[in-house]
Structure 1
Amino acid sequence: MVKLNLRACLLFLGVLLGTLVVIAGVLVPQVRAGSFQWTSYGPNGGNVTAFAVNPTDPSIIYAGTNGGGVYRSSDTGATWTPVNNGLNTDTNSVNISALVINPTNPNTIYAGTRGGGVYRSDNAGASWTAVNNGLSNGINNFPYYVVALVINPNNPDTLYLGSLTAGVYRTDNGGGLWTEVTNNLIENNIKALAIDPANPNIVYAALEFNGVSRTTNGGATWSNISTGLPVAVGISIQSLAINPSTPNTVYAGTADSDTGTNHDGVFRTTNGGLTWTNVITGLAGVTSLAINPNTPNTVYAGTLGSGVYRTTNGGTSWLAKSNGLLSLNVQAVMVHPTSSNILLSGTSEDRGIFRSTDSADSWSVSNTGLTNTTVWSVDINPANPNILFAGTNSRGVFRSTTGGNSWVAVNNGLPTGKQVLAVAVHPTTANVAYAGFSSSGGVYRTTDNGDSWVAINTGLTEKTVRALAINPTNPDTMYAGTFRGVFRTDNGGGSWSAVSTGLTISNTRVLAINPTNPNVIFAGMSSSGGVYRTDNGGASWSAVNTGLGANTIRSLAIHPTNPNIIYAGTISNGVYKTTDNGANWQAINNGLTPPFIQVRAIAIHPGRPDTVYIGLDKIGTDGGVFVSYNGGDAWFPLDSSNIDPNVRALVLNPADPRFLFAGTSGGGLFDIQLDPAYLPLILRQ
């Protein structure tokens, strides 16, 4: 490798940038604020799994998310800010399952994670540290898979955690050391914990298959207390809640995978678990329970499919309370401790947080600052690059008219609950864009910049659409890559016809059109099908896999001025490059860490096409965005500390390629401003 003189290179770069500063005796360029730093502005939403309220200042609330770590609100849930320093995907610590706060020192917070064990913050979430000493890795490849945390209110250094596969653990020093406490616990698959506020030696554990167990001596021994509960494989206790005024009254929420037996609902005991009585059935899996601390006969049940239910008489009768909830899959419910008319619901499907100020009679979205969404696809209007479209996991299409700084959902006419795997903006006609959907959703078109959409599926016999590509010289011609081959339209989607002759693998993941000869198209396939090429607009296809092997392709990109150069991203073997129009391929993974290098997206700088960006899905060591300044000969991470490491899409602003956008799984759409005078300067010791 060529070694560069550090001082000389930095000096040269600084001269070009026009501004120099001196650090440790070396002249380096002064980078203005915003350059070389990823920032996510949305779309707002997320997969919210847990809440915790500061007991001394209840305007401060923490929300745990799946994939996005912890968010904090200082205005009772109206707005949110991520507080994730020390949490990362490398340790699975951004997958939060439980949050508890020290009641006497509320700056100390504990987060249980799905795979990363327990993390503690001693500064109100500003930074986090793992506290896993003594924890078992569990079984079935679920190391440190924590599903529940409870804290002793009288001695807050004592906590209990429930593990998905390793039972219950206890710490008496704030997580410094955990000890297994499973004597006589008949099952180690824990789903929830609850601690008696009046006698914290009493702890209840919800089990996946065997009802509820209880300890009355701080975990030294357990006994099963499931009389009256449904106990069978497929029926699990998902949630627990204790009446703070009469703690012998406990509620248990159930989930029944066998819908024929109808054991989804809520059970109640009034004698500390000796016997249980069903108080409501027919709910779609009760994953969370919350009790109004001021009037504890008022109980809320969050369900996976039935929204929120409320009882005001201790469970005798229940009413559905989901008005305004845009997702009925509720994973967490929280009642404000002092203003008990205020509730928060955390939902899945990227819907995020909903807030009620009238005891759940109505709900409204409360996602400002919560950027825990999944963006599968993104495209930019070439005539007005401030307009972007983002395809999301299950919330349809979002549009930004501010260059990505703010987003609104534009789903009038679109199907619901499906992934938007492809978006494409018409290259010459303003206000026209297309969206392709998973799960047989088909293709939709807008002619008013997203305000309304219509289905354009005539002749599209396979409607699971993974890719869309528009002919740059004749934009009425467009191609759709589907689960069963490629389709073509020559009238802007008015009608489609299959063009899959020669494709021996039908599941088409990605399409790329030669910019100078649009009859040449490349298709990247699933099922280890590699790459296919057509030279006649799809009339016939041939496999072009010499050197590529049996790879599943996730991404393709063609050199803008030398279309014989194509890059292919694979599901686990990194990046391949051809310089002869696909005749031969070579792996180009210098700087990437095998195994499992999944390249989900590729973007080429239009003015400096040796500059190539790749977006990785972190299934191995590497994640985030990497860049090469020499056509893939070497790769380097691009500010990997600030971006969600699971990238789904990449696109450069066509009018100003200083701006790179990255759609991620769990972090929304990030953008980074690259300095216009930046040179391909890479220094390694």
Structure 2
Amino acid sequence: MTHFLIGMSGGLFRFERDSQKPAVLMPATQPTAFAIDPSEPAIIYCATYNRGLWRRDDTGRTWLPVGTPQSYYGPEVYGALPERETTFVSVDPQKNHDGRHPVWIGTEPSRLYRSDDHGLTFQLVNALDSLPSRRSWAYPPRPATHHVRWIAHGESGQIYVSVEFGAFLRSMDGGKTFEDRRSDSPLDTHVLLTHPLAPRRIYGALGDGLMRPGRSFGESLDGGEPWNYVSRGLEEMVYLYGMSINPSDPDDIRVAASPNPGMAHGRDWKAQLHDSQNNRQAMSGRHPSAGPSSIFKRVGQAWKEDAIGFPRDHSLIPVLTADPHRPGYWFALSNLGLFEQAPGKEGWQLIANDPAWENMHPMSLLPLSASSEKTCNREIVAGASTGKPNTCNLGNTTMDSNISLSDQDLIEIVRSYYSAVDSRDPDRLAALYLDAPTTTLKFNADPAIVTVEAIRTFTAGFSLAVAGIHHTMIEIWKTPLLGNIVPVDLEPSRENAVTVASTALPIFSFTKGSDDIALPATSIFTIDTETKKFISVHNMFDIGKIYAALNT
């Protein structure tokens, strides 16, 4: 069953199909975009305006800020994401050499950042300040600035960026340099998409139709040169702000359209340019001028309205998305609710609403498969099912599922440990342990560290000693390797506990200029099934190499 992460101008919400109403996850935020890690679907990023970047590693209820490694009490560190106005986030479909996907962030003012460690630290890739067209960039509500509206990725590492308002930009070298806008390229691209089944094709939902009739929808069939415009059928609604594409058909497209920005966003556009930033009255209350806003589908070289059941006459312009798990299902998020269109159906059906949304602007929407978070989802598995009963194959991970915690629960619990270690945050790591007198952390044959407070103290000291940690190639097993062979001194299994084994490749960095050290590691985790917290963690790797590096 599909559930949703919903971004409104008043906060982040979660909606499950069997619930009464959406649940508030982060109030008073403005989620501008979501991005999901294709290799680790439990990892989702949320860019917010004025609140920075957030990441979740579980079922979507726990979110942590990332890109903020600076400690209040510590010296200045490298890798912080300075802008709080994160206007877009994407996850690169291509992996780095360590198996992780780069995370890309666009900001206001327009800059491009990249993270190679799941968002823990960021590097400025390009400030976009050397392009001749930059002096003409301006976002109409705040003409003194501009921002990255969208980031899209090509089949061979190309990066496409739209700046609102002012340019479509293309990089052929991983963002190091960008080609400035072409004479035939769009200026005001609100949604910029690519499709894996049409690798060279780029799609744009545009605001250009306000200035140049016939330029509401643009596409390039050759990676950005040249551009063609298909706008027949959109003559009454020239302003596009939403778009989605069927994941199994690159020609099946939906767009969200309105006659002009004022009707799309619910305010008089000319008055908006003169409002004071502190004029709260203008930003609150109902949207008396909202609508019409509608939905159109591509039919050959034209567009046909497809809005039966959608409240087109009074809705703000909706956010559109196609269900990535069930091709043919479409969703539209409006201030008047969340709507669904099923395959073969012409009409839209209301599936969720919250009275508070009426005063909010829809910003972002991410449908999620419940099975991808609670059980095995074979659509995202890297490889085929093992075919064995009661087993679950996730990439290179195979585990018996006849236990009180599901396979996905165990994977998320263990991955949360590695993520917390990588964060070098002693409080975050200590919070994963069961607060009991016998809770232990052990390395090799060294004496055990006992109690949560002792583990926190050790972690704080270790985190100060090294400059960085990140884990790669994580594998997890519930069934012992090599038949039933287990360490002879392993404690007998206890009630309400389960033991899992894991291998990983932690990479430790020290000071700038020094070599990183990669140490293959095996860990044994004993987990309390009621609290999902660690009773004990036993790590085995050559820690002597770390001590040697710290003494040099």
User: What is the TM-score with the length of structure 2 in the denominator?
Assistant: 0.49
User: What is the TM-score with the length of structure 1 in the denominator?
Assistant: 0.40
